[in-house]
Amino acid sequence: MASLKEMRNRIGSVKSTQKITKALNMVAAAKLKRSQEQAENARPYAQRMASVIANLAAGVQGADAPRLLAGTGEDQRHLIVVATADKGLAGGFSSNVIKAARERINSLIAQGKDVKIIAVGRKSRDQLQRLYGEKLVRTFELSEHKTVGLHSAQPIAELIAEMFENGEADVVQLFYSQFKSVIQQVPTGAQLVPAEVQTASADNSTALYEYEPSEEEILETLLPRNLTTQILAALLENQAGFFGSQMAAMDNATRNAGDLINALTLQYNRKRQAQITTELIEIIAGAEAI
């Protein structure tokens, strides 16, 4: 049985842990608000971009379509981009994304495809490195920059475009966590290349469009940019999801610590009282003996 002093120490250490989780919970809540705003602010751009590309793609089809849009016509080399967080203490946030990606990767390997992996975020690097070793071709860390922005998405997009141009990849997929709500994040796989185009919008005004320069040239410059936009959107969703998940995890931890403190305090008090009772009995017994 632990002594009273040991128990006091134990309660003290749980209390300070609770303080930390509580603080982290509040920090995550504050950051969540900001990153949620950021993710929402970035949405109009991504939406417009998608609709413009849908418009353009309807006009350019067949052999002369850019390869980022149409693909290489092959399905052998797959590039999987797995985006998670850099830090932990957020429940199963990163593991959930990695789990979804792993299912996909394993099924591709089972089909005999060549798989290459790019890890974004320290958590995905650590896990994927261990699981797939040399299939992991590059890793990116988000904490190089203070905030997630275009500067975080650009290098990733450039690498993807480069690998695609060099014929190292036919299909590119991105795994990230979609931010549904503070308590719900859904691991999602999105196809980046060949670009998934929304089914042509209802208006058929495309024929009347005037292009400057040509449709093909516009698409040529637009598609790499679209890649960046999609990655940025995913990173921002990831960030919001991360803080949401961290908030929930820390809230849980704080509550658990509270429960533990209550249980320990109860135990401590019982023991203390038992000791006092014993001491009293000893004194009384001693007095009677005299």
Partner 1 sequence: MTGKLNFSLVAPEREIFAGQVDQVDAPGVEGDFGVLPGHAPFMTTLREGVITIYEGNARRRFDVKGGFADVNGEGLTILAEEASEIVA
Q: What are the start-end ranges of the E strands in 151-207?
A: 171-181, 184-193
Binding span for partner 1 by CB under 8 A among 44-52, 117-125, 178-186, 277-285: 44-52
What is the x/- site pattern for partner 1, positions 58-97, by CB under 8 A?
----------------------------------------
Give the neighbor-by-neighbor strand order of the sheet with 136-140.
136-140, 114-120, 77-83, 171-181, 184-193
Closer Cβ to partner 1, 151 or 255, answer by number: 151
Among 12, 23, 103, 211, which residue interacts with partner 1 (rule: CB under 8 A)?
A: 211
Compute the least distance from the CB of residue 61 to partner 1, in Å: 17
Using CB under 8 A as the binding criterion, the count of chain residues that bind partner 1 stands at 28
Q: What residues between 11 and 40 interact with partner 1 by CB under 8 A?
A: 38
* Residue 203 amino acid letter: D
Q: Which helix (H) or strand (E) holds 129?
A: helix 122-132
Cα 284 to chain centroid, rounded: 66
Binding span for partner 1 by CB under 8 A among 119-127, 138-146, 222-230, 262-270: 222-230
Query: Encoding tokens for residue 124?
Result: 């995905």
Among 3, 212, 288, 290, which residue interacts with partner 1 (rule: CB under 8 A)?
A: 212
Q: Tell me the residue length of the chain.
A: 290
What is the x/- site pattern for partner 1, positions 165-204, by CB under 8 A?
--------------------------------------x-
> 214 by DSSP, 3-state: which?
coil
Considering Cα of 110, then 111, then 116, then 119, what sign does the dihedral take? negative
Is the separation of the CB atoms in 223 and 68 below 8 Å? yes
The C-alpha atoms of residue 77 and residue 145 are separated, in whole angstroms, by 31
Is residue 210 near partner 1 by the rule CB under 8 A? yes
Binding span for partner 1 by CB under 8 A among 92-100, 167-175, 214-222, 270-278: 214-222
Compute the least distance from the CB of residue 171 to partner 1, in Å: 25
Residues 6+ apart with CB under 8 A from 100: 175, 187, 188, 189
Residues forming contacts to partner 1 in the complex (CB under 8 A) are 38, 41-42, 44-45, 48-49, 52, 55-56, 149-150, 203, 205, 208-213, 217-218, 221-222, 225, 228-229, 232
